[in-house]
Copies of this chain bind each other. A is one copy, B any other.
Amino acid sequence: MAVLGRNGRMGSEAVRAVEDAEDMALVAALGRGDDLQGIVDAGADVVVDLTVPSATRENVRFAVEHGIHAVVGTTGWDDAALAELETQLAAAPGTGVLIAPNFAVGAVLAMKFSELAAAFFDSVEIVELHHPRKLDAPSGTAARTAQLVAQARERAGLGGSPDATESDPQGARGADVDGVHVHSVRLQGLVAHQETLLGNPGEQLSIRHDSFDRVSFMTGVLLGVRSVASHPGLTRGLDGYMDLGL
Contacts and interface: CB of A to CB of B under 8 A. Distances in A.
B183 A185 contact: yes
**Stoichiometry, copies per complex:** 4
A155 to B, nearest CB: 10
Interface residues of A, number: 80
A81 interface: no
A206 B206 contact: yes
A interface SS class:
mixed
25 contacts: A105-B121, A105-B200, A106-B203, A120-B242, A123-B186, A124-B187, A125-B187, A136-B165, A137-B165, A162-B186, A165-B184, A170-B177, A172-B174, A172-B175, A181-B185, A185-B197, A187-B198, A187-B199, A189-B212, A202-B211, A202-B213, A203-B213, A205-B207, A205-B209, A244-B246
Contact of A135 (B110, B166, B217, B245): B166
A40 interface: no
Contacts of A165: 134-137, 184, 186
